[in-house]
Structure 1
Amino acid sequence: MDKVETRNMLKSRAWPLWVPLLLCLSSGSLKAQQKPNVIFILTDDLGFGDIGVFFQAQRQKSGDRSLPYQLTPHLDQMAAQGARFTQQYANAPVCAPSRASFLTGVHQGNAVVRDNQFDKMLENNHTVASVLQAGGYKTVAIGKWGLQGQTGTGPASWPGYPLKRGFDDYFGYVRHSDGHEHYPFEGLYRGKKEVWSGNEEVSAGLEKCYTTDLWTAAAKKWITSHRNKSNQPFFMYLAYDAPHAVLELPTQAYPKGGGLHGGLQWLGKKGQMINTASGHIDSYLYPEYGNATYDDDHDPLSPEVPWPDTFKRYATAVRRIDDAIGDIRQLLVDLHIEGNTLVVFTSDNGPSIESYLPKGFAPNEPTFFASYGPFDGIKRDCWEGGLRMPGIAVWPGRIAANKMINTPSMLSDWAPTFARAAGLAVPVRMDGVSLLPVLTGKGPQDSSQVYVEYFEAGKTPGFKEFEAGRRNRKRGQMQMIRLGDLVGVRYGITGAEDNFEIYNVVTDPKQTSNLALKPGYDQIQQQMKNKVLQRRRADTESPRPYDNALVPADQVDANMQPGLLWKYYPGNFAYVGNTDGLKPLKTGKVDSVQGREWAGKKGLLSYEAYVKVPQDGAYTFSLKTSGKAFVRLHEATLIDADFAYAPGELKAQKVRLGKGFHKITLNAVFTGAVAPVLSLGGQGEGQVLQFYHLNKRN
């Protein structure tokens, strides 16, 4: 669905009657024009430990001259004025699947983009942008994309181009590999790159434009222009391609001041597009880094030595982003919109050893600054260092200052969060949960589904700072799941019965003590093995050694009754939303899924039941509806008949199930225009599956 179709959908269907209730999640009731602006800032390969308030300040305060440190004053200030997420995870330890999961709100167990599928098309389904766009937002993406689809050479032939995935405007690198060069016109180390503005390729006018500066100036220009034209709320996805890759340097010092009249500015002149497009490319180091020395031999009596050039460059790249954040936040103050703008800053995965610099430079080893923080693992690892992200959120008047959030969360939780902040329904397809309760301190916080699966043929680096058993360890098929304070990790998976290593990452963040080797953890071990199979669906383009394993049944009350429980929520629904936090108008029980009794009514109908599987085997579920619907089996997507579903189309899905009761949920939308058609059934192994429900309602 393109943006025109989305707008038409918005015009033709009013929003649910319960939407005003969602607007009370923050203090007071918001009017439509007071929906918050949202800016989501994502960096590339920035580690948890690279930010002052998360880790670098500890090194600075230690006074140990053998521990070089970075400075991030603007991000530290942002954290002091808002909330800091100490246990936020990337959805994958590499950029493409991690970014795709953020955009779609779907974790890797149900995702379309997985593993190292760079430039694969972001699926044509709900995105954070399409939801907000349909809810009255102006949407823009700036910076790195890498999810356009590999067919063709331009927007007309790229099926997953940002303008086809909910964004009104786009400016940036579309192709994944272009993000490995920070001077698109010169292509200093990786060759010339393409920059797209809408449907036009514009790199020819971008001489001496360092991409961190370019994306920042473009973001400021867009916000200012939009604000001058309209009070319409906006959503901006600002995706930097630094500090990853070539570690190129800016042309000059960051311009003084910030905001509307200072800092980076868009000049719009070919050859001088921004106000730092002059001087010498790849030349400027922050003085505190250019002249920095450290105690390399741990001997305070011997002379200190200069930082290697590689790390001067890395620290400069990070500091440049820090300056950019301060610049953008000052702009919000100057435009008098900071009080109604939610700004989130984070990264896509752990720190990298990649640099692509010429010979003679020291390797880009994240040990120099301990960019992975107090953890083991880097990019492409499912240890905490590869997945734990620095997260900061600020929203004056709604998020308390100096708030420390220790609730586990994932990048895929931000799409539902932004939808709820805007007073909109969250598509039931999204696995993420809204973080508004923990951000604002209002209402109970749902638990996030922290789950990762990933394949990588390499090894965890043999850094002496890592646990001995982790050094040079082969990765292969990997999995991570978190339940409470416990994280289960599997490397080199050969089958569903492989044991997890289990760590309490709250008391043991470096994952030194494998609890799975101790008595009393057999039940947790089995729970993790069951949950990872119940939480995911197989994907033929990313095969796993546990794809054909039987999905285990639930442990349920022996007193089960035939039939399904239903709940009815009245209203006009533009898509199938989830029902979290809502109260149904009516409830009841039926023997089978059917929609005839809802003729003439409008709203969302939610069914909940358990299917009784008589024996291990393969079973096929079929769904047909005249409206829109979505089915989950346990926590996995089973049938999606929502976003691009043709009414009346029969959809089916085969899955291997273990004997016993399996939870199934169905959400369906009725428009009231025609007598609804709705059917759901399952069969296999010569049996027709029957629906049951718990005798005592939840």
Structure 2
Amino acid sequence: MVLFYTIPMMRQCSYLVLLLLIFSLISCKNKGQLTQDSTEITVRKTGDKPNIIYILADDLGYGDLSSYGQQKFTTPNIDKLAEEGMLFTQHYSGSTVCAPSRSALLTGMHTGHTVVRGNKEIQPEGQYPIPDNTYTLAEAMKKVGYVTGAFGKWGLGYPGSEGDPLNQGFDSFFGYNCQRMGHNYYPRHLWANHDSLVLSENFGKKKGVYAPELIHEKTLDFIEVNKEHPFFLYVASIIPHAELAAPEEVLSKYRGKFLPEKAYEGVDSGPEYRLGPYESQKETHAAFVSMVQILDGQVGEIMAKLNKLGIADNTIVIFTSDNGPHTEGGADPDYFDSNGPFKGVKRDLYEGGIRVPMIVKWPGKVKAGSKTEQVSTFWDVFPTFTSIVGGDSPNDIDGISFLPTLLGNEDQQEKHEYLYWEFHEKGGRQAVRMGDWKGVKYNVIKNPDAPIELYDLSTDVGESNNVAEDHPEIVKKIEDILKEARTPSEVYKFNQETYLNVD
């Protein structure tokens, strides 16, 4: 049995501590059961707005799904989504690391405009918050009567801050508030709304609660509870981000099947243990595959739940990833060809760091087994969802609705003039995609006039042939975009330092 202790987040004086502790001990009986604000919940009627489930994998590469070319293992449940929906071949993440990618998703703005542009830590737990005056996708959905829930990893505001998920439009939250805490799959606590739920079976070196499984249980509960209401469910899985860890009953199925194995020596004791550094893993290949299989199985269970409740036909399900594959904690993207045909990995602005899989299933609307080359990105999700549900999007967002593409009306699809990214680690990096042209600029801090690399993606998706010298007029256009596409930030500058900022 898993035992939770509910610990209030803020304590102001001794007698309040006592009262809150009493309340906490009482509330521990519900095993972390979530409650939600029902003030804007509307009862579903026949033909009402569709439910929307947005499943976001963490550091899953373009080539990590068998529907996108993975050869060493299969992902049957995610592949089934593609068979029953639309597969995007040119979809881009909001950034090449976690927090800014999520910020772009939830604000509809690229990293030259969105507030959270990097993984900026706030101690002892959490990241720099989205400001209170930010209008998020969750708030837009809530405004038109949707129940909103976020499950998994947050990373956009430390507990209780203005960026806390419950202060940014979500009725309920369960999971990791802090990205750094999400580096450990057997955490000492998770967050259930405003309460910290201490996981006693993970004390010391015990591994009694595998967090993705508990978070998944709460995700299914959310669907069950809200089956009569239109809901927006944001499933921000931590899989397959490092550390590489899976329950033995899963890992044993893949042991010895992905040889030669690769070992990783991490932090297995001391004051930093399970507070950010990754644990050791002797079988990183088997562990990685185990994690992806767990994620794939959870996607299948979500679909089974929708079918059991009879709401699958009125539910849009989207699956994607927050950036390219990582190399941390012993991960081996070269072995699995995780970035597919692309150059680069997480923290790169080459295609391998930012081009990600996206699959959309919408019964009766999206043609089953279809595929699109429409260029789209995370900041397009906001206006797409509001177009579907009849909500409103801010006038200053960068996104374009890809609803026409989903409905098979690509001739009516608006196109981006360009896509822009900036990254605040490793000396500063910028990138632009303009049509089939891709411009990349590295070492922005040390050399603001660093040359722009230019690639023609129509013939060189691997970005192996820099043709900048052959097309000075294109380079000049991209150079102008690099200057004009962004607004300065007092918080995120191109010398950003983060927990894992290593060269």
Matches within 5 A, 1:517-528: 517-518=469-470, 521-528=471-478
Question: Equivalent residues in 2 for 1:405-484 (5 A)?
Answer: 405-442=372-409, 444-448=412-416, 449-457=418-426, 476-484=427-435
Secondary structure of the residue that 2:424 maps to in structure 1? strand
| SS across alignment from 2:239 | strand
Aligned partner letter, 1:232: H
- 1:332 maps to 306
2:149 corresponding residue in structure 1? 140
Matched, 1:368 2:316: no
The secondary structure found in structure 1 opposite 2:247 is coil
2:221 matched to which residue of 1? 221
**Equivalent position of 2:68 in the other structure:** 54
Contact 2:86 2:361 in 1 (8 A): yes
Structure 2 Cα separation of the partners of residues 424 and 198 of structure 1: 25
Separation (CA, whole Å) in 1 of partners of 2:260 and 2:284? 17
> Does residue 346 of structure 1 match 2:320?
yes
Within-5 A mapping of 1:310-329: 310-329=284-303
Task: Report the structure, 1 or 2, having the larger strand content.
Answer: 1
Matched residue pairs, number? 426
Taking the aligned partners of 2:258 and 2:56, their CA distance within structure 1 comes to 30
Equivalent residue letter for 2:383: P
1:251 is displaced (CA, Å) by 5.0
Asked if the contact 1:83/1:394 (under 8 Å) is kept, the reply is yes
TM-score if structure 1 supplies the norm length? 0.58
| Number of the residue aligned with 2:27 | none
Corresponding residue of 1:642: none
Q: 1:404 aligns with which of 367, 371, 380?
A: 371
Give the counterpart letter for 1:377 in structure 2: G
Deviation, 1:522, is 1.9
Match of 2:77 in 1: 74
Contact persistence 1:211–1:241 (CA under 8 A): no
TM-score (norm 2): 0.80
Extract structure 1 runs of 4+ deviating beyond 3 A.
Answer: 3-8, 30-33, 204-207, 293-296, 494-499
Aligned to 2:486, which of 521, 532, 536? 536
Who is 1:509 aligned against? 461
Q: Which amino acid aligns with 2:361?
A: V
1:500 deviates by 1.9
Matched residues in 2 for 1:456 and 1:334: separation?
Answer: 46
Identify the residue that residue 391 of structure 1 maps to in structure 2: 358
Preserved contact between residue 82 and residue 402 of structure 1 (Cα < 8 Å): yes
Q: Secondary structure at the match of 2:428?
A: strand
CA shift at 1:293, angstroms? 5.0
Query: What letter matches 2:171 in structure 1?
Result: D
* Aligned partner of residue 195 in structure 1, secondary structure: strand
1:223-246 deviations in Å (ceiling 9; x for gaps):
01111xxx3210011111121111
Shift of 1:200: 1.8
Once the two structures are superposed, the pairs formed by residues 176-325 of structure 1 within 5 Å of their partners are 176-184=179-187, 192=188, 194-204=189-199, 208-227=208-227, 231-250=228-247, 252=249, 284-285=250-251, 287=253, 289-292=254-257, 309-325=283-299
Highest RCO, 1 vs 2 (Cα 8 Å, sep ≥ 6): 2
Q: Contact (CA 8 Å) 2:117, 2:492: kept in 1 or not?
A: yes
> 1:388: how far off?
0.8
CA distance in 2, matches of 1:205, 1:336: 37
Cα shift readout 1:328-382 (whole Å, capped 9, x = no counterpart): 0111111111111111111111111111xxxxxxx32211101111111111111
The aligned residue for residue 442 of structure 2 is 491
Gap change, CA 1:74 and 1:4, over 3 Å in 2: closer
Residue 497 of structure 1 and its aligned partner are, at CA, apart by 4.9
Q: How far apart are 1:456 and its partner, in Å?
A: 2.0
Greater helix content: 2
Please report the RMSD computed on the Cα atoms of aligned residues, expressed in angstroms: 2.5
